[in-house]
Structure formats: C-alpha cells, structure tokens
Structure 1
Amino acid sequence: MIPRKSRLLALLLGLLPIGAVLANPYETTLKNGLKVIVKEDRRAPTAVHMVWYKVGSMDEVDGTSGVAHALEHMMFKGTPKVGPGEFNKRVAAAGGRDNAFTNYDYTAYFQQIPKQKLPEMMALEADRMGHLTLDPKEFAKEIQVIMEERRMRTDDNPQSLLFEALNAVAYSAHPYRRPVIGWMADLEQMTAADLRHWYQQWYVPNNATLVVVGDVDHEAVFRQAEKTYGQLKPRALPARKPIAEAPQKGIRRVTVKGPAELPQVLLAWKAPTLRDVNKDSDPYALEMLGAVLDGHDGARLTQHLVKDQRLAQSVGSGYDNSSRGPSLFLMLGTPAEGHTPAELEAALKAEVARIAADGVSEEELKRARAQLVASQVYKRDSMFAQAMEIGQMEIVGLSYKSVERMIEKLQAVTAADVQRVAKQYFSDDSLTVGLLEPQPLADAPRRRAPAGVRH
C-alpha cells in the first residue's frame, strides 16, 4: 500500500488515478422522492447529518425577499413534539452541534454528532420537515432578530453594502439581484403566513437531499431514513420558470457611501457557470485564472499590485463556477495611501489584460494547478467538508460522482486555455464596477450580534 502522503503527492503529480483515494458514496431514493446519500468514513466515531432543500432566495419573488432565510430561523422554533428552542438543546445534550444556512440556491440544516446519536437526529429533522408549528408570536419576536442581523451584517458593514449594491446593478432580471437576507422594507412587511406558504411549497421530501457522512453503515442509514423521513408525504412543487439575464451592453457603475477608513473597488464580470462537467471547458479555465491571480502568496495580484507597485493595500479575486444561476468573476481591492480608486481599477484590469496579451508561464500554471487540486483533496480530511461538497453539487444540478472528473478537467487546463478566457470574458461591456466612498467613522461602538443569530 502506498503511504498516504505519497498517494497525495502522486495524485498532485498526476501519477495516480483519483479514484484510488476517494471513497464512493452510496445512494438511494425513498418512495416519497427524498434522495439519500451516505458516505462511510471510519476515521472517527462521529457523523455529519445534513438536509439540503433545493430552494433559496433565488426562488423568492419581489416583495418577499428574505423569506427563505426567515424560515430557516423559524425551523428552530418548534413542532407539536419539540418546543421552541428545544431542538438545539437536544443536539447539545447528545454531545453534538448544529446550525443552518441559506444562500441564493439552497437552504441546509446540519448536525455533527457521535455516531450513535444519528437516529435521534434523523427523527428530529424529519419532524420539522413535516410538522413545523410557525407560531405567529414566535415569528413576531424572531423577525426582530432578523432585522437586527441585517443592520449588523449589512447596513453597518460598508463592504457588505458594496457587494449588495453591486449585485443589484450587475443583475437586471435574475433574482440574484436581491440580497439573501432580504431588503429591510420586505422584512418589515413579512408575516408568519408568508413563511407558512413558503414552507408548504418547498419543504417537502421530494425537494430535499439527505447527506450523511461518517462512521456509519449505509444500509442502516437507509433503513432509518425510511423509518423517519419515509413517513412524510410528497407534494407537487411549484413550476420553476427559467430566468435568463439579458446580455449586458456596456459598463455599469454604482457608488456606495459608508463609514470606512479607506475606499474599495469591486469589479464584476459576467462569467459562465458549469453546466456539463465533461463538455464545458471555460469554467475550469476561469477557475485556473483566478488561482493565477490570487491563489497563493506569490500570485500576480498581491505580487504586482501590493508588493512591487505598492499601489494597493490589499487585493483579491473570486469566482464560483457552480450555482443554479449565472456567475460573476470578481476582483476587489483597497488602494494604498496616495493612490486613487481609479488607479487601482485600471491596475486590476491591466493584470487580466496582460494575461490576455502575454499568457501565463508553465511554472505559475503548475503552481496554481497544485493549489487548486490540493484544496480539493484536502476536503477529504473533514467529514463536514465532504458532506458540504456532496450537498452543494447535488443541489446546483451537478453530481458528487463528477468530482473526480472535475479535478481531472482542472488538471488538464493549459496556459492557452487561461489566455483564451482572459481575452473572452473581461471586456467593459460585461463589467460592473462598485466603489465604496468612505465617510467619517462614527464614534458609537458597533452593534453586537443579536441573540438568536445562528450563522
């Protein structure tokens, strides 16, 4: 047997089939439509239990922004069997921890527990999938917590305001233009009835995926899933009409004023999303471009703009190629003292333009490739990261079975591929620019996180 470190090195060098180090999860689909995926991992006597609903803020309509996130909060407020706040107490008593999260594409709930407590968690989660109380009095208290969360994390955070404003301008039609937490005006008008309608529409077994990773037997998990979740009835889901973002025909700009010490510049170009793991190529090349620009300490943005030119205090880039909707390739920077946001904007564009004109060296491509592949492989050291990867892949319409192929496609990206996408996707016609214009800092201390904020 090859030692683990040698196997990893061999993988990074392309000398070993990826399947040799990755376990194959097991899956089944219950009669009510719930998909169950189990990955056995015997390294510790624990388990991660996650339920993913294929519904997020992108499924909201104007006037109801924030309802997906608000329901996530209310999922901890009780069923006829389990009182308000009791869910968390039971998880803690079992020696575990739990939380939940909402984004544009999905809502998910998880518990990390000793393996013997898994049946109890499955029963608890199935109970609130089918029998949530949604007491108007509990909602009246929780919506205040949510509004305070918005004030703390967005309204009092200039960078969050910048990202929110940029999304609202970059997307003219797609629901990604709305913030996940919701517009404050919509939160102020939200009712428990709005949440009940959302819950009845989307929180059904045929719109959910159960993921379990840990020291478990998959057949036993399947039986327990049938015993708990299998008792819930499916319902017809609302029709999801595809929403296409119209082609952008010129640069868009937005300025946000907020209390901050320094300005920031945020650039966002429309970029393709991975739809066919085998046929698509540009999303992999764009991911590699992102690694060349900002994948390690010696990457181009930091080396050129921070260390060499001293034009920026900080720089970065980001690109997520897997989502239910469209994608953006982002570049963010804070100009150094004595330099303007306009200078930094031009310098960020110039870094991509230089790659479009001159390409990248094989050495920096090799380093970027190693960073990307290693980050994928290291996920296998965490049960939680494994469960996250499986759930996210399934919800956005890909498959966890494609992970190996995706890594192979990343490894196959060439310098010519990186240069090609740098030429293709970074024109001003598809660019939205956000500028944070700093205002004097208030003397008042920042708010603390409100009680009840869970993520």
Structure 2
Amino acid sequence: MNINSFFGFATVFVYITLALALPAQANPHEYLLDNGLKIIIKEDHRSPVVIQQLWYKAGSIDEVNGTTGVAHALEHMMFKGTSNVPPGEFSRKIAAVGGKENAFTSRDYTAYYQQLHQQHLPMAMQLESDRMRNLQITQEEFSKEMQVVMEERRLRTDDQAHALVYEKLIATAFQAHPYRRPVIGWMNDLENMQIEDAQDWYKRWYTPNNAILVIVGDVNPKETLKLAQESYGKFQANHIPALSERKPQIEPPQTGIKRLVVKAPAKLPYLIMGYKVPVLKDTKNDWEPYALTILSEVLDGNAAARLNKTLVRSTRIAISANAGYSAIARGPGIFYIDGTPSEDKTAHELEQAIRSEIDTIVQSGITQEELARVKAQVVASRTYQLDSTFAQAMQIGRLESIGLSHLDANIILERLQTVTAEQVKAVAEKYLVDDSLTVAVLDPQPLAKTTAQNDQSK
C-alpha cells in the first residue's frame, strides 16, 4: 500500500490572461480565462499525442451527510449525454479516433481525461466543454446508473475484506472531518439518492472558475489557448468559494488509541494501523511531510526496506507488510502501516513486530546508507514518471486541485533531497505514537461455498 503521491518536475511559471499577454516563456505555460478557468499547457513533442484533463475542485470532502457518494455518482452521469451529444456518443467518438478516455473521483477533486492524437484535440475540447454546462440528467438514466454505482460499491468494498477494513478504519480515525466518509458513499445514501442531488451538485461545482484544464503533449500553446477560449471561454462563472474561502473543517485532536475489529469472510487476518500526520501546506517552509515521505520509503520503498526485510523475509511473521503516506491532500494526513500475518501468527503478534520496527527507528534512527538509497530511489521514480505525458498531466492537475501550484513539484523534489536522518527520526518519534493511532483488525470469517461446490454437494 505504498501510496506516496509526490510527482516529479515542473518548470518556469508563466501567467497570461486573455487581456494581457506576457512575452513567451519556458514550458509549461499558464493562462487564466476571463471566466476563471485556469489553463496549464505543457509541451512534449516526443510523440504526436496529447492528454486533456479537466479537474474540478470538488470531491467527497465537499459532500454533506445524506448525499455521500454524489460526487462519484455525478461522474458516472457525465457520460450519459448532453443536449448536443446523445448518451454514449462521447465515448464512441473518442474510441473512433483511437483515443482513450475516463474519469476519477477522489476525496479532493473529480477529473476527466482523454488521450488521443494531437490532431483530434479540438474535438476532445468540444466534447469536454459541452458537458461542463449542457449535461442532461434524466430520471431513467439516473436510476439505471445508481444501480451500477451500488454494484460497484458491493464489488470493490463490501465484498473485499481488506477494502472494508480500510473504510471502517478511516471512519473511526476521523471523528468530524469529511474524510471519514467513503468516496463511493454509504450504501444507505446511494439507495436513497435523488436525481435532484446530482443536479444540484452539477450546478454548484461544475463551473469554469472551479476547474483547471491541463493539456500535455504535442501542442502549440498559443493555438491550444485559442481552442480553449473557443470551447470553454463561452461559459460564465458561477459564484462559488475558492478553496481558501471554504469553511475550515478541522479534525478535533485525538486523545488516545482507537481500536476496532471487522468481521468479514477471508482466509487470513489483516492488520492496518493509521497514524494522524500533517500534509504539505507550505512547500518551501514545511519539513515534516518530506521527512514522513522518506520514512515511508525506508519502511516500504523497495525489497530491502525494513518491513519486508525484517517481518517478511527474516522473522517471517508476515506474508506482507507495507507502509504508505500521501503528503498532497486538502485535508489531514494518515501514515499507514498494514500487513497480513503468516498462517501461524496473529494480528496482535504482527502489530507488536511493527511497533518494534518503529521503536528501533525512534531509538536509533536510520542509517546514512538508507537515507542515500531512498533519496536516489525517490529522484529516479519521479524522473521516470515524467516519461509519461499522462503522469505529467496528473502531477500538474493534482497539485493545482488541492491548492498548491504545479511549480511546487520542483520545490518538493529539492526539499525531499534535503531531508536528514535526524528529521526522519524526529517525525517517527513525534507522530508514530498511540495518541494519534487507529488500529483495525480483520477477524476472518468462513468463506462462502462456491457455486461449483454447492452443485457437487447436491
């Protein structure tokens, strides 16, 4: 579950509005339309391919009780047609030119993308901009799609023991913050979702001044800006609070360890431990999120990482043991350590072994060799990611959507390389403590018999 989320490099900042054009500057290029749509274009001429991503700064963090899952439900409805494009036609047109398209919803944002030959970018822009304002949500399509969403929840969460444990851990770890609600929504809310819920969400959040258009690939920035103005510039902005103006949602301090047991069909127990930790807010002056990132890589960044080396290969107390942390988020962070104990071991024994590894770092720190190896791996992985135009677009969109800048990518990489062994030890000592810890254990229940087994028993 290594879920580090820093991406590689960014370059020089260029700010241009339609009213005032500055001299041409380095890649990527940044623009702001009069209606508030932010556009970031990054040239990559290695192949005649382009990525278009449209990011809306609205995710499950912005939902309220009773309508959990509406952000994800609306994502599904965005493929059901507009007043200009019949249901299914969007996907058919992209596929017809050899392109790919999809979407994703997270706690912090919702994004839509197309990857295709650069000559088809005008068509992709027309299609994507059209559904920014002209979506048609009919009762018939909504009712059918909600059945799809509920089945998705059953398959990905309710019938997946580890996913169910994770969901319940998050719901327990956070007392008040909306991160406690699952992105896909609670089943009761999905069962009672009304078409008006989706329509209201669309009208409120799907507006150019709440969106970021990211274009990466074999494009000419000036020509692409003109296309964007023609496609997206015709829509007016809605009154909507910027990220910095939205009501603060502060999680109350945790004052002791939280524990829960989840019963679900499974072969083996499973353990997940979540510590509350900070995330990046000031990329230049924060240091703890960078140290936490290095710590997660020391524990679970490669085959020689501590959890795998000690718990899996040496003592064999675990079949698997992992750590993960994402420093890029609108809300509070969680540092995760999880694992599956070996067949002759218990979740309690695995927890004690994990605690022992943490204590070793708290008492003795990490070695300079470990630090150098992890830093080299971090730099290499971020560099390799940039071979992909899609990864480049993801880097830009994700940073911008949570309130940072795409320019912060360079700062992040530089700051990661300045982390010291003492700082890694310090964050382990400060944050990997019981007062910020939630522990969830899977109590495996008998697996249901398969249809084949049932047939044989008759």
User: Do they fold alike, i.e. is TM over 0.5?
Assistant: yes
- Gapped regions of structure 1 (runs ≥ 5): 1-11, 447-455
After superposition, residues 136-147 of structure 1 pair within 5 angstroms as: 136-147=139-150
Count of residues in correspondence between the two structures: 429
Query: Where does residue 7 of structure 1 map in the other structure?
Result: none
Q: In 2, distance between residues paired with 1:372 and 1:179?
A: 30
Q: In 1, distance between residues paired with 2:38 and 2:450?
A: 50
TM superposition shift of 1:375: 1.3
Q: In 2, distance between residues paired with 1:292 and 1:387?
A: 28
Asked if residue 198 in structure 1 is aligned to residue 201 in structure 2, the reply is yes
Query: Where does residue 217 of structure 2 map in the other structure?
Result: 214
Asked if residue 272 in structure 1 is aligned to residue 273 in structure 2, the reply is no
1:112 to 110, 115, 118: 115
Distance 1:216 1:286, change over 3 A: same
1:323 to 317, 321, 329: 329
TM superposition shift of 1:24: 2.8
Q: In 1, distance between residues paired with 2:120 and 2:31?
A: 22
3-state SS, counterpart of residue 386 of structure 2: helix
Query: Where does residue 359 of structure 1 map in the other structure?
Result: 365
Query: Where does residue 74 of structure 1 map in the other structure?
Result: 77
Query: Where does residue 371 of structure 1 map in the other structure?
Result: 377
Distance 1:312 1:228, change over 3 A: same
3-state SS, counterpart of residue 366 of structure 2: coil
- Gapped regions of structure 2 (runs ≥ 5): 1-7, 13-25, 453-458
Query: Where does residue 423 of structure 2 map in the other structure?
Result: 417
TM-score (norm 1): 0.92
After TM superposition, the runs of 4+ consecutive aligned structure 1 residues lying more than 6 A away are: 17-20
Asked if residue 160 in structure 1 is aligned to residue 166 in structure 2, the reply is no
Query: Where does residue 173 of structure 2 map in the other structure?
Result: 170
TM superposition shift of 1:338: 1.4
After superposition, residues 277-288 of structure 1 pair within 5 angstroms as: 277-288=283-294
Equivalent pair of 2:10/2:28 in contact (CA under 8 Å): no
Asked if residue 34 in structure 1 is aligned to residue 37 in structure 2, the reply is yes
Asked if residue 151 in structure 1 is aligned to residue 154 in structure 2, the reply is yes
TM superposition shift of 1:445: 6.4
Query: Where does residue 4 of structure 1 map in the other structure?
Result: none
1:390 to 378, 390, 396: 396
TM superposition shift of 1:290: 0.5
Q: In 2, distance between residues paired with 1:129 and 1:192?
A: 18
Q: In 1, distance between residues paired with 2:34 and 2:191?
A: 40
Q: In 2, distance between residues paired with 1:435 and 1:210?
A: 41
Give per-residue Cα distances to partners, 1:9-32, cap 9 Å, x unaligned: xxx9xxxx9969xx7310100000
Q: In 2, distance between residues paired with 1:426 and 1:308?
A: 23
Asked if residue 294 in structure 1 is aligned to residue 300 in structure 2, the reply is yes
Q: In 2, distance between residues paired with 1:255 and 1:122?
A: 48
Q: In 1, distance between residues paired with 2:295 and 2:309?
A: 15
Letter aligned with residue 217 of structure 1: N
Give per-residue Cα distances to partners, 1:45-94, cap 9 Å, x unaligned: 01000000000001000000000000000000000110111110011012
Q: In 2, distance between residues paired with 1:204 and 1:404?
A: 29
CA RMSD between the two structures: 1.5
3-state SS, counterpart of residue 443 of structure 2: strand
Q: In 2, distance between residues paired with 1:445 and 1:369?
A: 50
Equivalent pair of 2:10/2:407 in contact (CA under 8 Å): no
Query: Where does residue 123 of structure 1 map in the other structure?
Result: 126
Q: In 2, distance between residues paired with 1:307 and 1:248?
A: 35
3-state SS, counterpart of residue 297 of structure 1: coil
3-state SS, counterpart of residue 233 of structure 2: helix
Query: Where does residue 244 of structure 1 map in the other structure?
Result: 250
Asked if residue 180 in structure 1 is aligned to residue 151 in structure 2, the reply is no
Letter aligned with residue 167 of structure 2: E
Query: Where does residue 103 of structure 1 map in the other structure?
Result: 106
Q: In 2, distance between residues paired with 1:332 and 1:372?
A: 21
Equivalent pair of 2:10/2:408 in contact (CA under 8 Å): no
Q: In 2, distance between residues paired with 1:45 and 1:18?
A: 21
3-state SS, counterpart of residue 315 of structure 1: strand
Letter aligned with residue 144 of structure 2: K
3-state SS, counterpart of residue 381 of structure 1: coil
Q: In 2, distance between residues paired with 1:118 and 1:94?
A: 11
Q: In 2, distance between residues paired with 1:425 and 1:445?
A: 47
TM superposition shift of 1:240: 2.2
Query: Where does residue 136 of structure 2 map in the other structure?
Result: 133
Q: In 2, distance between residues paired with 1:444 and 1:252?
A: 36
Query: Where does residue 22 of structure 2 map in the other structure?
Result: none
Distance 1:243 1:269, change over 3 A: same
Q: Percent identical across equivalent pairs?
A: 52
Q: In 2, distance between residues paired with 1:19 and 1:323?
A: 22
TM superposition shift of 1:444: 3.3
Q: In 1, distance between residues paired with 2:246 and 2:263?
A: 37
3-state SS, counterpart of residue 200 of structure 1: helix
TM superposition shift of 1:377: 1.0
Q: In 2, distance between residues paired with 1:310 and 1:78?
A: 54
Equivalent pair of 2:299/2:305 in contact (CA under 8 Å): yes
Q: In 1, distance between residues paired with 2:230 and 2:352?
A: 60
Distance 1:18 1:208, change over 3 A: closer
Q: In 1, distance between residues paired with 2:62 and 2:10?
A: 36
Asked if residue 253 in structure 1 is aligned to residue 256 in structure 2, the reply is no
Between 365-374 and 163-172, the greater mean CA deviation after superposition:
365-374
TM superposition shift of 1:362: 0.6
TM-score (norm 2): 0.92
Q: In 1, distance between residues paired with 2:41 and 2:251?
A: 36
